[in-house]
Structure 1
Amino acid sequence: MTEPLWWQSGAIYQIYPRSFQDSNGDGIGDLRGIESRLDDLVALGVDAIWISPIYPSPMADFGYDVADYTGIDPRFGTLDDFDSLLNAAHDRGLKLLLDFVPNHSSDQHPWFIESRSSRDNPKRDWYLWRDPAPNGGPPNNWISDFGGPAWEYDEGTGQYYYHAFLKEQPDLNWRNPDLRAAMLDVLSFWFDRGVDGFRIDVLWHMIKHRDFPDNPANPAYTPAMGEMHQMLQLHSTDQPEVHGLAAEMRRVADAYPERVLIGEIYLPVDKLMAYYGTGGPGVHLPFNFQLIEAPWDARSLATLIAEYEAALPPGGWPNWVLGNHDRPRAATRFGPEQARVAAMLLLTLRGTPTIYYGDEIGMTDVMIPAEQVYDPRELREPGIGLGRDPVRTPMAWDATPHAGFSTATAWLPLHSDWGARNVEAQREDPRSMWCLHRDLLALRRSRAALSIGDWLPVETAGNLLAYERRHGDARLLVVLNLGDTPESFAISEWAEGLSVLLTTGTGDDPAVLGPNEGYILG
């Protein structure tokens, strides 16, 4: 390949800003707090930070209900604070990505306030308004992703507006050219300010079937899946026209050097690939969430990785994600020892990895008492495990009061073992999860075979997953034991003379992997 771009060879680190670092003692993280921790991220070895929404918002969905796309919420700071953070990141060689929330705004956004003021307001068509059904109910059977009908009746104008999520998050109408132009201007505003890219929220939701037909029932639905899964989102998501919108956003990004667009898209691989572009460029990286959702089984993962690699379009760059602000943490899913193996997998596969804050110290989901639940997802459908508060809890930096996150009680409770499971303690322990991430990231940076090399499968049996990374004449072997019992491994003849570069275990005998052990030979 040609000289790789930073977003191809580098690693991205996701920050949930409310929970990363508080600088003013209100128990909520902020921009100055993030800036104060940049040196910690440089020490870890990441290349870019992606910050979840920091725009002005009523916080009905914690920033994903945007009231102003070109401002900063006072809880997080000011535009001056943002500029200071951006400059400080760039001074350290770090890139900075923002969240772009194009599918919906807040119902407190001036655009929506105008839109609902009358049927003939010029911004009426900036949102999705429809007359009631003949029986007087909602226009169709679409269900909100947060449960309940996806339509809200407006008494003042006698129509319903569509909201794929909360009623406080009305969907924007991307078929309207004026709305489309206004939102593309938002991208330019932040690119002009120096932002290096965007993660695009729910990209596959952005446009709906023009005629709004009913969605078909889901024959596999069970209540444990959540109300949204009662219907198959055939007409409310992943419409063919969405690729034209992605191409328009890509044209904006391409007007600036080395910018990146990452699309949040929860779709099967065959549909995911279309977001690289159909008839023209799409987003650079359609998020690949398979490691979050797949069974943790060596044979299944080997097939999954090979099929994903084979499905990539010409020029399409792969990417991998192990956790995020919506899904259970890796250490909760796999346990603390296997989470180390999962980290090695994430950081040795071909493509751009994204690390979720706290995963580098093995943070687990935190049990949130009922009286402290904030997440509207949990409040609307309690008790079935869909709440996201448990994975959004404050970062633990040290063993001082409030874990160094704040001088006050944090907005969500800390994990119970924060006194020992924190960055400061783990930086002093060469066998810690933090040091494992640091060493893996350093190895990626020093070995082109890991950062940009080819991926080739290696045949294994049992709980072992193995593959080769190759760049020019350099060849590395990665072997991972996904189980809790020892496994024997026949080392390939070409790799017999290689040394153990990194291991989660002892690495004493590469022909036998201990429980939850992985290693890299090179």
Structure 2
Amino acid sequence: MRLRTLLTAATLLALLLGGGLGCHGPSADASGRYPVDTTTIAPGQQLENAPGWYRDAVVYHIWVKAFADGVYQDGIGDLPGIQSKLDYLQSLGVNALWLSPIFECGYKGDNMHGYDTTDYYAVNDRFGTRADLKSLIDAVHARGMRILFDFVPNHTSTLHPWFTNSATRDTWYLWQPAPPAGWGYPWGGGTSTDVWKPGASGCFYTAFGVTSLADLNWYNPAVQTELRKVEVYWLDRGFDGMRVDAVRYLCESGPGQGADQPDTHVQLQAFRSLMDEYDTGDLHPHPGGDPAKHSSKAMIAEAWTNDASGVAPYYGNGANEFHMCLDFSAPWAIYNTISKGDATQVTSLWDYEQRTYPAGYQTATFDSNHDNLISRPGTQYGGDRAEVILAEALNLLSPGTPILYYGNEVGMAGQSGSDINLRQPMDWSQAALQATQPDSILSWCRYLIQARKAYPSLRGGYATLATDAGTGKALAYLRSAGTERVLVVANLTTAPLTFTVTGLAAQGVPAGGPVQAVLGDLQGGSTVSGDTCTIASLPPHGLRVLYLAGSGFQGTIHGDLH
């Protein structure tokens, strides 16, 4: 079964929002089957070199199947559908797109996810063609935006030719005559029979315990060579980087040693080394053509741990592994801050990362995604608009690079527990409605992104500040860049709150200077008095962003949430 067909009304609204659905690829034939893709994709357009672009990015995470149907009119989102929504995405303010897996996969039922790759070089036929992909990449770049693909190097589908062909099956995957003793899931729990499954050559290893997935043997040089070739192939064709799936499990060296192995880091550093060649322009010839030189790329790690300390190794020395790591601690830290009225839930995480991660690190923060980590904010906060907006603010104004999961900007519902609940069709009717409402979740996401893009300090340094209201009632932190200082404050209570922020002098805020509102109203507290600033009558679960020092104030974007 496929995802439900979008309602006619929603489709009409999508036309208004996105400039039409458009058919850029071949239509399905009369029998309803999807045609074979006979197009090719040559090395493509590269954006000019911009080292560190990912630090200034706001990334929009698209679950391709659920976003917008633009090619077959079958209720399945696709690449032309994404292209038809670039006006919407640019108006939102995001400047980088991360696509869920788009390559050919084994399972194409109701919850098609794409992490079961059957061909790393072919576009999933439900999503269009290679020509559609080239068109999308070029259209994204024409707007000065960037685009990343989802790379799955740990495992393939058992339907992949590498697994079905005995010439590669026996050495490209991990085999034992019978389930060896002492094994279990690499994140803990389980037994040997959970991860070793019967197959044509004995029992094969599958870290996720799924018979349709088989882990690649990363101790085989041929596997290493081929997956690096995949990386280069798609970077050459214009992708600006990649999110790398399940990086903790690449290499496994024995029972209890299925995650976070030293050999894994060797392989990840090789991925990074190839990526760095695009920065320097010192490129060796690649199959298919020589890509444009000096085109910066970035890679994001899915190093999913429940402890922020487990992420640190995936930055390497800060310059030789991942540019960014997904911050799986952030969604619950944000939720606990709001639901428990405890600012330290999030500030202690940000302080820990700043204190312990290597120089050069950059977290990739988010408040929900496609996995069963947490419900979408629209559900997690019980539909409370102010709390959802505050959650989005703590994501979009965090010290990291924010990732916005499609639909969260309109408060879409999605209950964790069954991941298909988190992968439902984009609610374009809500997007159309909220675009007309100045205090909607969508409008506030636009304001927050506008502020982040306009003020370098909101992409710069971070410092937690104290308040006389206590961490149970108020949140305060300072962002800085050069001489610019911007204060972010939030009310964690259900009543209006007046409080004083302290510790400004130590962060380079001059005494006696004016306070100017980037977001929110000024109701008293119009100057910095010595070391302090008073925040007056901040609404329940309200947020203000205040300009305290610098010469780049650009005016108030919007007042308090009403």
Q: TM-score higher than 0.5 here?
A: yes
Q: Aligned-pair distance for 1:279?
A: 9.5
Residue 128 of structure 1 corresponds to: 174
Match for residue 244 of structure 1 among 232, 249, 266 = 266
Contact 1:144–1:166 (8 Å) recurs in 2: no
Matched, 1:42 2:90: yes
Equivalents in 1 of 2:204, 2:122: separation in Å?
29
Contact 2:204–2:214 (8 Å) recurs in 1: no
Equivalents in 1 of 2:232, 2:491: separation in Å?
46
Matched, 1:282 2:321: yes
Q: Aligned-pair distance for 1:495?
A: 8.0
Matched, 1:6 2:64: no
Extract unaligned runs of 5+ from structure 2: 1-49, 279-294, 505-510, 525-534, 548-562
Counterpart residue identity of residue 513, structure 1: L
Q: Aligned-pair distance for 1:331?
A: 2.5
Q: Aligned-pair distance for 1:273?
A: 1.2
**Alignment partner of 1:241: what SS?**
helix
Match for residue 513 of structure 1 among 534, 538, 544 = 538
Residue 483 of structure 1 corresponds to: 493
Q: How does 1:401-440 map to 2 (within 5 A)?
A: 422-440=430-448
Matched, 1:500 2:521: no
**CA deviation map 1:205-243 (0-9, x unaligned):** 11112xx22x4xxxxxxxxxxxxxxxxxxx211112111
Q: Aligned-pair distance for 1:144?
A: 8.1
Q: Aligned-pair distance for 1:496?
A: 6.9
Equivalents in 1 of 2:266, 2:115: separation in Å?
23
Contact 1:152–1:163 (8 Å) recurs in 2: no
Contact 2:186–2:259 (8 Å) recurs in 1: no
Q: How does 1:144-159 map to 2 (within 5 A)?
A: 149-154=194-199, 156-159=200-203
Equivalents in 1 of 2:204, 2:325: separation in Å?
32
Residue 477 of structure 2 corresponds to: 467
Q: 1:6 to 1:495 in 2, by over 3 A?
A: farther
Matched, 1:29 2:77: yes
Matched, 1:261 2:303: no
Q: Aligned-pair distance for 1:483?
A: 3.2
Residue 150 of structure 2 corresponds to: 99
Matched, 1:355 2:400: no
Residue 394 of structure 1 corresponds to: 425
Q: 1:199 to 1:122 in 2, by over 3 A?
A: closer
Q: 1:507 to 1:346 in 2, by over 3 A?
A: farther
Q: How does 1:234-383 map to 2 (within 5 A)?
A: 235-256=257-278, 257-267=295-305, 268-278=307-317, 281-294=320-333, 295-296=336-337, 297-326=342-371, 327=373, 328-335=375-382, 336=384, 337-365=386-414
Matched, 1:54 2:61: no
Q: 1:481 to 1:11 in 2, by over 3 A?
A: same
Residue 448 of structure 1 corresponds to: 456
Contact 1:477–1:495 (8 Å) recurs in 2: no
Q: 1:488 to 1:70 in 2, by over 3 A?
A: same
**Alignment partner of 1:70: what SS?**
strand
Q: Aligned-pair distance for 1:122?
A: 4.5
Equivalents in 1 of 2:497, 2:216: separation in Å?
53
Equivalents in 1 of 2:319, 2:457: separation in Å?
30
State the Cα RMSD in Å. 2.2
Equivalents in 1 of 2:169, 2:93: separation in Å?
46
Counterpart residue identity of residue 19, structure 1: A
Contact 2:104–2:120 (8 Å) recurs in 1: yes
Query: Which segment drifts farther, 273-282 or 10-19?
Result: 273-282
Contact 2:207–2:249 (8 Å) recurs in 1: no
Equivalents in 2 of 1:456, 1:254: separation in Å?
31
**CA deviation map 1:44-76 (0-9, x unaligned):** 000100000011112266200000011101100
Contact 2:175–2:201 (8 Å) recurs in 1: no
Equivalents in 2 of 1:477, 1:289: separation in Å?
25
Query: Which segment drifts farther, 41-50 or 453-462?
Result: 453-462
**Alignment partner of 1:56: what SS?**
strand
Equivalents in 2 of 1:4, 1:343: separation in Å?
27
Extract unaligned runs of 5+ from structure 1: 216-234, 367-384, 399-421
Counterpart residue identity of residue 58, structure 2: A
Q: How does 1:218-237 map to 2 (within 5 A)?
A: 235-237=257-259
Query: Which segment drifts farther, 242-251 or 295-304?
Result: 295-304
Q: Which has the higher contact order (CA 8 A, sep 6+)?
A: 1
Counterpart residue identity of residue 362, structure 1: G
Q: Aligned-pair distance for 1:163?
A: 4.1
Q: Aligned-pair distance for 1:203?
A: 0.7
Q: Aligned-pair distance for 1:94?
A: 1.1
Equivalents in 2 of 1:483, 1:105: separation in Å?
48
**CA deviation map 1:243-288 (0-9, x unaligned):** 1111000011112121000000112222311111159600110111
**Alignment partner of 1:441: what SS?**
helix
Q: Aligned-pair distance for 1:516?
A: 1.1
Q: 1:80 to 1:242 in 2, by over 3 A?
A: same
Contact 1:57–1:67 (8 Å) recurs in 2: yes
Contact 1:129–1:162 (8 Å) recurs in 2: no
TM-score, L = length of structure 2: 0.75
Contact 1:9–1:351 (8 Å) recurs in 2: no
Equivalents in 2 of 1:143, 1:474: separation in Å?
48
Counterpart residue identity of residue 113, structure 1: T
Contact 1:243–1:278 (8 Å) recurs in 2: no
Of all paired residues, the percent bearing the same amino acid is 34
Q: Aligned-pair distance for 1:91?
A: 0.6
Contact 1:201–1:263 (8 Å) recurs in 2: yes
Counterpart residue identity of residue 395, structure 1: M
Contact 1:131–1:139 (8 Å) recurs in 2: no
